[in-house]
Chain A
Amino acid sequence: MADEALFLLLHNEMVSGVYKSAEQGEVENGRCITKLENMGFRVGQGLIERFTKDTARFKDELDIMKFICKDFWTTVFKKQIDNLRTNHQGIYVLQDNKFRLLTQMSAGKQYLEHASKYLAFTCGLIRGGLSNLGIKSIVTAEVSSMPACKLNSHFLQMFLVIFFFRSSVFLFVFVFVNLEEIENAKPILLLSILTFGVVICSILIFIFNYFLTHNGQ
């Protein structure tokens, strides 16, 4: 199908349009990248819904990433991801040695500084796709030599756990402040409350971590 040409041209026009209407400067550059990424996010959400309508449930995160690297990438960019690396702790690096949106731009180091503009939409696409599969993530891209690019996706699993830990600490400090009248027993009470607090925190962290890892599948 000749849709590929249409999408490529539309994407290039979008990038040039977004940058033409913005002034020079670092802040504006960041704003444009955010705009493109948000557009990609919307598209990724819709696309992954239509795509995974009839596929089986994913077993774990690695399964999801493999789906993105093979089926999703093949449909959108007519080829698979060349290399997938992970540290098994939520960071995945997808490497594409001949990224479709950059092949027609240069084959080396020329225009390297402009490459990030053309990757923002794709980063949003992946982030949107993952978001509708139940995974919160941050996706960044780096280009060392056109047309190869690396996309890093960092799964945000620990976010909720850290939040609950912090709120538990504040709760116990508050309790301590209100027990001022019990003078003698204060240090013992404080110690017991703190110990109790640490135990509760660990249990909460364990429970929420368990639910987070097994909830999105």
Chain B
Amino acid sequence: MSRPTHRRPEYRKINKDLFVLTYGALVAQLCKDYEKDEDVNKYLDKMGYGIGTRLVEDFLARSCVGRCHSYSEITDIIAQVAFKMYLGITPSVTCNNSSRNEFSLILDKNPLVEFVEELPAGRSSLCYCNLLCGIIRGALEMVHLAADVTFLQDRLKGDSVTEIGITFLKKPEEKKYRRKK
């Protein structure tokens, strides 16, 4: 897919603003429709799942990632290639446990909350970026990897950083390598 080279840099920013503003309008509408925060979070996750299942194909078509041999490799690719490609940021990856199936992506800059000052009153347990969790979960499922993705820390809720935790659920056979293509 070729991009016109004479494109002014502001246009790219406005393109990203379109997605961020649309997402904001969506969350605002959901807050109006649903009373409970858990319902909104669940809905965002479900929506993200639907997007993720389709986005992974677009991702694999654009990037040329080869076969992955371990969970940490997969998490590195999500952080360094996928996030960079779609959101323009590179979160850092940390491994949370010794059995190497729990990882964290730490985002110091989250473009989705660019226009958000704070969560609305009475919505303190709203996971504003829950769509991201759904997207990662959906994408991993399409490459035959079951995972649990949640927000561990959220800057909008007062924490210092935004942290997404990915827990890969146990595969039936450890030795069989899953192709990432």
Instruction: Please report the C-alpha to C-alpha distance between residue A38 and residue B22 in the assembled complex, in whole angstroms.
Output: 11
Which residue of chain B has its CB nearest to the CB of A18?
B29
In the complex, B54 has a CB within 8 A of chain A: yes
Instruction: Please report the C-alpha to C-alpha distance between residue A2 and residue B60 in the assembled complex, in whole angstroms.
Output: 12
**A50 contacts which chain B residues (CB < 8 A)?**
13-14, 17
B11 near A6: Cβ-Cβ < 8 Å: no
Contact residues, A74-101 vs B (CB, 8 A): 74-76
A9 near B51: Cβ-Cβ < 8 Å: yes
Given contacts A2-B62, A10-B23, A14-B47, 20 further A-B contacts (CB under 8 A): A1-B88, A6-B19, A6-B86, A9-B50, A9-B55, A10-B22, A10-B51, A13-B51, A14-B26, A17-B43, A39-B22, A39-B26, A39-B29, A42-B21, A43-B18, A43-B21, A46-B17, A46-B21, A47-B18, A50-B13
In the complex, A206 has a CB within 8 A of chain B: no
Which residue of chain B has its CB nearest to the CB of A7?
B19
Which residue of chain B has its CB nearest to the CB of A40?
B25
**A75 contacts which chain B residues (CB < 8 A)?**
11, 14-15, 18
**B22 contacts which chain A residues (CB < 8 A)?**
7, 10-11, 14, 39, 43
In the complex, A5 has a CB within 8 A of chain B: yes
Which residue of chain B has its CB nearest to the CB of A53?
B10
- A-B CB contact pairs (8 Å), 20 listed: A3-B15, A3-B19, A4-B15, A5-B55, A5-B86, A6-B19, A6-B51, A10-B51, A14-B26, A17-B47, A35-B29, A38-B29, A39-B29, A42-B24, A42-B25, A43-B24, A43-B25, A47-B17, A50-B13, A75-B15
Instruction: Please report the C-alpha to C-alpha distance between residue A40 and residue B58 in the assembled complex, in whole angstroms.
Output: 25
B58 near A47: Cβ-Cβ < 8 Å: no
In the complex, A21 has a CB within 8 A of chain B: yes
A7 near B18: Cβ-Cβ < 8 Å: yes
In the complex, B115 has a CB within 8 A of chain A: yes
In the complex, B143 has a CB within 8 A of chain A: no
Contact residues, B1-53 vs A (CB, 8 A): 3, 11-19, 21-26, 28-29, 33, 43, 47, 50-51
Which residue numbers of B lie inside 8 Å of A, CB to CB? 3, 11-19, 21-26, 28-29, 33, 43, 47, 50-51, 54-55, 58, 62, 85-86, 88, 115, 131
In the complex, A51 has a CB within 8 A of chain B: yes
- Interchain nearest-CB distance for A170 vs B (Å): 38
Instruction: Tell me how many residues of A have a C-beta within 8 Å of chain B.
Output: 28
B16 near A1: Cβ-Cβ < 8 Å: yes
Instruction: Please report the C-alpha to C-alpha distance between residue A6 and residue B111 in the assembled complex, in whole angstroms.
Output: 13
**A51 contacts which chain B residues (CB < 8 A)?**
14
B16 near A3: Cβ-Cβ < 8 Å: yes
- What 0/1 pattern do residues 6 to 42 of A give for CB contact below 8 A with B? 1101110110110001000000000000010011101
Which residue of chain B has its CB nearest to the CB of A43?
B21
Instruction: Please report the C-alpha to C-alpha distance between residue A81 and residue B19 in the assembled complex, in whole angstroms.
Output: 21
**A4 contacts which chain B residues (CB < 8 A)?**
15
Instruction: Please report the C-alpha to C-alpha distance between residue A4 and residue B25 in the assembled complex, in whole angstroms.
Output: 18
**B29 contacts which chain A residues (CB < 8 A)?**
35, 38-39
